[in-house]
Amino acid sequence: MNTTEDARPPGLSDAELPFHGHQRVREHLMRETAADALGTGHRSWSRRPLILLLAAGAATGAVTLAVTLGASGSGEGRPAPVRPDPAAVRLLDSAAMAAQAGPAAPVRDGQYLYTKTTGFSMSLTEIRSGEMEAARTDESAERWVSVDGSTGTVTRTAGGTSRDPAPGRRTATLHNPTYRFLESLPTDPDRLLETIYADTRLNHGPGSGSTTGPDQEAFVAIGDLLRTVAAPPGVSAALYRAAARIPGVVLVPGATDAAGREGVAVARVHNGERTEWIFDKDTTHLLGERTVLLKDSAWGTAGTTVSSTAMIARGVTDEAGRTPGQ
């Protein structure tokens, strides 16, 4: 295990972070292999958000973190990591303080965490001419995640309702979390980031064959944790503060989520794609996430949003299939 100092960007000390002194608490191979797909037997490539793969029980182990949209890697001959943008660090600190101030809802084993999202993803399909055609797929859904994992996750979409995994078989991990698992995570941002980096270095570091790298994978993993299940306030705050230590994090002054809400974003760029976490400008509460092309590719022209998810509602309910308050 590396030391916690390894989790910070080189040259950036805690004293330089604005929260110093506060409590320290997408289908596999995506864009990198889209070009290869043109020459293989594959006919269709999808960019389904990782949150959907998690709900379907497909997000486990090394395969899970491989289905992200990429990042700066690490290794010999590569440029030094880019320090986090101070403006992005300030926004993440504000988000952390807002999360910390939120009341911790009483949660019991046997209950479900409810999340309603709206959004879309892009897929590529080979047409008769041999070219690849991009099309949108609706990814809107309601989910009921078992607090203790004992009864799995129930997902309701326009196509119907499913339960996965089978009751009693769910194992909570960073990539397949339950509320009880999130409660067990460190609330110190350095320790939490090192926990996440331990996984991303193993599965996406030198010699792993990954085309992304530990930094981007850490950013994507934290974003998935923040969206997939509502974490206890102290853990949510630590996740935001941990993200502020990842090299290459930047501020995007204007961004619109899948529900049409305008906000400000913290983002990271990899291989011509920018993954954005969108926040409300006034409350700094997380609204959603999107991925935008910064250069033309098989997925579309520069400026195209290729995936977007907006969080519409969250809460706790006693029964899967019912919304909070019913």
Predicted confidence band at 25 (pLDDT cuts at 50, 70, 90)? very low
2 vs 133: which has the higher pLDDT? 133
Chain-wide mean pLDDT for the chain?
78
pLDDT band at 210 (very low <50, low <70, confident <90, very high): confident
Q: What is the pLDDT of residues 97-106, one digit of tens each?
A: 999 997 777 8
Q: Rounded distance, CA 172 to CA 158, Å? A: 27
Confidence at residue 150, expressed as pLDDT on a 0 to 100 scale: 87
Q: pLDDT digit string (tens) for 165-202? A: 755 555 788 888 889 999 999 999 999 999 999 988 88
At 134, list the tokens. 């991009």
Percent above pLDDT 70 for the chain: 74
| DSSP label at residue 257 | -
Least Cα distance to 179 among 151, 154, 149 occurs for: 149
- Write the DSSP string, 125-194: EE-TTS-EEEEEEE--EEEEEESSSTT-EEEEETTEEEEES-TT----BTTB--HHHHHTS-SSHHHHHH
Q: What is the 3-state secondary structure (H, E, C) of 96-138?
A: HHHHHHCCCCCCCCCCEEEEEEEEEEEEEEECCCCCEEEEEEE
Instruction: Please tell me the least confidently modeled range out of 49-58, 142-151, 188-197, 270-279.
Output: 49-58
For the beta carbon of residue 13, count every other beta carbon within 10 angstroms.
10
For residue 151, the model assigns a pLDDT of 87
The predicted pLDDT at position 49 comes to 52
Q: Which residues contact 124 (CB under 8 A, 6 or more apart)?
A: 34, 37, 44, 45, 46, 132, 133, 134, 298, 299
pLDDT at 90: 97
- Helix H or strand E segment including 307: strand 305-317
- Looking at per-residue pLDDT, the higher value among 30 and 149 belongs to 149
Residue 147: pLDDT over 50? yes
For residue 31, pLDDT beyond 90: no
> How do residues 47-94 score in pLDDT, each as one tens digit?
555 433 333 333 333 333 233 333 333 333 455 567 889 999 999 999
Kindly give the pairing relationship between strand 141-146 and strand 112-126. Answer: antiparallel
Distances 176 to 57, 60, 146, 153, 268 between C-alpha atoms, Å: 7, 7, 11, 10, 23
Of 50-59, 140-149, 304-313, the range with the lowest mean pLDDT is 50-59
pTM: 0.76
pLDDT over 80 (residue 35): no
Predicted pLDDT at 126 = 79
- Is the pLDDT reported for residue 225 higher than 70? yes
The confidence score (pLDDT) of residue 169 equals: 55
Q: Dig out the tokens for 268 from the structure.
A: 């990271």
Q: Can you give the residue ranges of every domain in the chain?
A: 24-317
